[in-house]
Every structure is written in C-alpha cells, then in structure tokens.
C-alpha cells in the first residue's frame, strides 16, 4: 500500500511594519489608531526610562539583581494591549514590565520586588496579574489552570502568559500546553524568543527551526511574529484573544525579539555574545522603529520627544521615590500576609515571641535543669 501524508503544516511569519517604520496599511487595517500608537509609544518611552534607572539603582547598590526589559517593550505591550484591562489576566515571567504597568500594576511595585520587599508582590485589588515568576516555566501551568477555571465558571475571560525561548525546553511548558489544548482552556501562550537562554543560544537548546512549531504537536493555532513590531504583535495577540474568548481554546505566539541588555545584572553577555549581533538588533529597536513610523506620518517631532523625555524622567523619579520611601515592613506581615483568618495557637505564639523553639517562647524555663531537684 502506498504511503500517504497524514499531517502537513505551515508556520506563518507576521510583520506589518519594517525596520524603517514603513507600515503595510492593508495588513494593519483595523489594528491600532494613530491616537493609540502615539499613546503606546509614549508609554514605551517611560517604561524604557524606568528600566534604565532600575539598572542604575542596582549598580549603585540600591536594588538587588535586576533583569532589564530593554528591547522587548513591543512584544510585551502589544500583546497586553490586546487583552481587556480589569477582565483578562496576565501571568508573567520577568521581562514584561510594560504589560504589567499597562494592566494597572503600580510601577514602584516592580522595584520593590527586586529590592527584596515582598510587598511588591502583593497585587492590588482589581489588578489582574500574578507576581513575577523567577523559576523558568512554572507560571505557564498556573496560566493553564486559571484559564481552565474561567472555562468551568463560564466566565468570558482570557489568560495571557509570557515566557522565553529557553522555557520551551522545560517540562512545565509541555505539561501546560497539553493541559490547555486538551481542555481547550482560554489561554494565549506568548513566547518572547530573545535568542538566548542566559548564555545558551537558541540553536543549542532546541533542534526545531522555530519555536512556534512546537504548538503543532498540541493541535494549537500558532504563528511567528516580528516581536519588535508593535502592530504585528498586537494583531496576532488580538486574534488569539478573540478566539479564546469565543471558545476557540488556546493559541501560541512566537514573538521574535532580542534582549539588548545582559540576562540580568548578575550576567555579562559580552563573554558569550558577538558585539556585531547586538549592533544589528539595536537597529531593530522597537522604540526607534515606531518613532520612524510616527515621524513619517507627521505625528511626531523633536519637540514632542523632548517633552515626553522630560515627563518620563519626572514620572520615574516619583516611582523611585515611592519605592525607596516606603516605611519598613513589620514582622507581623510575615504571618498576616501568609495565612488567612485567625492563626492557630502555635503560630500565634510564634508571632508573639518571634521564636520557634520552646526556650525562646518561654524564657522563664531557662536554667530549670540547674535548679536543685526535689523528690
């Protein structure tokens, strides 16, 4: 009997705006209005400025290790803009600050997190984001579970979860993808393929030609987009979010981008990256590209740039002031923020004495053994 193909597939690549800021007006129809693009550009400027200040805070010893978001603003913000603020949920990694800010997380919370203050992870009521995830890949399982809960409750909500290319080599990724696809959970998996899993290049961590094709194994709609193209990221994300909300299940988006900084401030990418590669990607900077587009449309000029730069500096100064000026946490927070409701007697004793051992909790017992024993 002759062999016959049982499966064929194609991965599409989506780019609406090239590196010179030229936009395919036909493909971009019904995506972003001029007013929205200007607003998003200004937002990206502020996020970039905060990112650079965060780097300086770490270098001056005022903050712990920090992963810069520089270069990946379009992938984060373009996708987040496609979700409904206050309705849909974001389950992030650690290079999506712009997405979190857009959905209402106060900017100083991110700084608090990297300063080691857990209050940065106490998400305000009404802000539908989960805390920053440091372990590579675990957050995708949370996203699949949250999305499944929405489906069970028949709530028309969608979850967007973010991760890097390295995370797709983790078991958690495949478990989350399988879970979401079998249960048709309303979740959008957004891979920010920035080409490096710390110091390991993409072609040394996977043999597949694209990351997007991994979604084929799970029967999931998938696409690869220019992750530095705000229009392309938004268009692909909007289609995926609308499909999920309509009951079409999960989708996968590979946003091809690049981290212009080190992996974190504990890293030195000069030891493993070719400087020429970095220079090529600097020319593809999403903010530079978007400014070229706005200028070509007569929507932007040097005067406006100066104004937004000054405004961003003022905003970021207030953000830093809020993070560094917060009152010191009290020890009770450890208990009050961990347990709901009245504490069991043993924990109440630990909270009151700040001790876990009996002598610490009952100091009057000290020395009892040295006392004369009476029979």
CA atoms within 13 A on the CB side of 179: 19
Q: 289 an active-site residue?
A: no
Which of these is catalytic: 39, 59, 270, 272?
272
Which of these, 287, 289, 259, 283, lies nearest to 273 by C-alpha position?
A: 259
Which of these is catalytic: 263, 284, 289, 291?
263
In angstroms, the first-to-last Cα distance of the chain is: 97
Element (H, E) at 309: helix 302-324
Find tokens 């991965």 and name the residue: 11
Q: 245 an active-site residue?
A: no
Which of these is catalytic: 49, 108, 113, 259?
259
Q: How far apart are CA 68 and CA 257, in angstroms?
A: 14
DSSP of 8-30, one letter per residue? -----EE-SB-TT--B-TTTTTT
Q: How far apart are CA 234 and CA 373, in angstroms?
A: 79
Find tokens 């009951």 and name the residue: 247
Find tokens 């203050």 and name the residue: 117
Bridge partners, 193 (sequence order): 256
Q: 272 an active-site residue?
A: yes
Q: How far apart are CA 255 and CA 235, in angstroms?
A: 12
CA atoms within 13 A on the CB side of 109: 20
Torsion of the alpha carbons at 335, 128, 266 and 269, rounded to the nearest 10: 170
Residues taking part in catalysis: 259, 263, 272
């Amino acid at each position: 009997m002759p062999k016959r193909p049982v499966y064929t597939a194609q991965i599409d690549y989506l780019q609406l705006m090239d590196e010179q800021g030229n936009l395919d007006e036909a493909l971009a129809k019904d995506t972003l209005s001029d007013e929205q693009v200007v607003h998003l550009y200004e937002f990206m400027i502020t996020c970039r400025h905060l990112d650079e200040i965060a780097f300086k805070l770490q270098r001056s010893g005022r903050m712990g290790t920090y992963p810069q978001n520089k270069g990946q603003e379009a992938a984060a913000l373009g996708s987040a803009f496609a979700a409904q603020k206050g309705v849909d949920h974001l389950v992030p990694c650690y290079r999506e600050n712009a997405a979190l800010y857009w959905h209402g997380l106060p900017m100083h919370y991110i700084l608090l997190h990297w300063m080691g203050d857990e209050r940065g992870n106490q998400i305000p009521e009404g802000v539908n984001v989960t805390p920053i995830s440091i372990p590579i890949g675990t957050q995708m399982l949370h996203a699949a579970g949250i999305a499944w809960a929405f489906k069970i409750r028949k709530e028309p909500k969608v979850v967007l979860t973010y991760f890097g290319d390295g995370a797709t080599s983790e078991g958690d990724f495949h478990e989350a993808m399988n879970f979401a696809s079998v249960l048709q959970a309303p979740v959008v998996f957004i891979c920010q393929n920035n080409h490096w899993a710390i110091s390991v290049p993409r072609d040394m961590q996977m043999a597949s030609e694209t990351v997007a094709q991994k979604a084929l194994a799970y029967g999931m709609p998938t696409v690869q987009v220019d992750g530095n193209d705000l229009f392309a990221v938004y268009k692909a994300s909007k289609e995926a979010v609308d499909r999920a909300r309509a009951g079409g299940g999960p989708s996968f988006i590979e946003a091809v981008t690049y981290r212009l900084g080190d992996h974190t401030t504990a890293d030195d990418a000069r030891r493993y990256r070719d400087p020429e590669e970095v220079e090529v990607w600097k020319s593809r900077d999403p903010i530079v590209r978007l400014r070229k587009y706005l200028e070509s449309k007569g929507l932007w000029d040097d005067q406006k740039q100066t104004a937004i730069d000054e405004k961003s500096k003022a905003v970021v100064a207030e953000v830093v002031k809020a993070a560094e000026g917060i009152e010191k946490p009290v020890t009770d927070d450890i208990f009050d923020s961990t347990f709901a409701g009245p504490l069991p007697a043993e924990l109440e004793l630990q909270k009151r004495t700040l001790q876990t051992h009996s002598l610490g909790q009952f100091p009057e017992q000290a020395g009892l053994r040295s006392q004369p024993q009476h029979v």
